[in-house]
Amino acid sequence: MSVFSLENKTAIVTGGGSGIGRAIAKVFAQHGAYVYILEFNQENATQTLNEINSDGGQGDWRKCDVSNHKEVKSIIEDITSIRSVDILINNAGIAHVGNIEQTSEEDLDRIYEVNVKGVYNCIHGILPHFKSNKGGVIINMASIASAVGISDRFAYSMSKGAVLTMTYSVAKDYLSDNIRCNCISPARVHTPFVDGFIAKNYPGKEKEMFENLSKTQPIGRMGTPEEVANLALYLSSDAASFVTGTNFPIDGGFITLNG
């Protein structure tokens, strides 16, 4: 049995229908967890579940808009009435490109609703269950933009900075409840979102732009969703029982080696 086994544990993964969220859901299921995917896109969620099932794993999904407080509360109450939940992965998020002048009030509100309020809603919803169980694990998906300045990412950086500090606050406030809270801060990770962004903004120059974006990581490439998922696996396992209130960059040296 793996030292990172999640046997007999249940995890909720928001945004588990694609990219990093899909990789986390699959890796957790491979290591024994029953995985609930909270996802707005039914097709994506179904595809993830099919891949989990075909690999011998178990899971289910719920259609969920993480920005809707009442909906999130109701869904978490429903899930926890069926199974005891041990792990919450706050992965759902959206992006925005632009500096503050290029960020409308509507843009800012949209980013806040999903990336900040969505994390709040899910943590707020699961805490009574974790407190009743005398323990639980929360992993929030932050970003290198939480720690360093990234050009033309004003709203996104704002939201991920909030995720970082929410992580610290929750970790501090719930130490006595045996609830661990950490966050992961990826640099660029090769997901379908990256491919779509390049195709939309740099038509005809996809290969060149992919190489340029890859080279912004000192290690010379983008990360993979599976690499982020493996870090989330460690932090969610009993092997990380001494780890809380910490931000984990997974960035190919971006933060410390780009000077």
Q: How far apart are CA 159 and CA 57, in angstroms?
A: 33
* Residue 125 and residue 244 in one domain: yes
Output DSSP code: residue 116.
I
Walk along the chain (259 residues) and give the pLDDT tens digit of each residue.
689 999 999 999 999 999 999 999 999 999 999 999 999 999 999 999 999 999 999 999 999 999 999 999 999 999 999 999 999 999 999 999 999 999 999 999 999 999 999 999 999 999 999 999 999 999 999 999 999 999 999 999 999 999 999 999 999 999 999 999 999 999 999 998 889 889 988 899 999 999 999 999 999 999 999 999 999 999 999 999 999 999 999 999 999 998 6
Active-site residue, 112 included: no
- Say whether both 231 and 113 belong to one domain: yes
Catalytic-role residue among 34, 36, 120, 156: 156
Residues 61, 40 share a domain = yes
Question: What's the CA angle centered on 183, arms 143 and 116, to 5 degrees?
Answer: 65
Domain count, the chain: 2
Domain that holds residue 218: 189-222
In a domain, 5, yes or no: no
The reported pLDDT for the residue numbered 244 is 98
Q: Do 93 and 19 belong to one domain?
A: yes
State the helix-helix crossing angle for 206-215 and 192-201, rounded to 10 degrees: 120
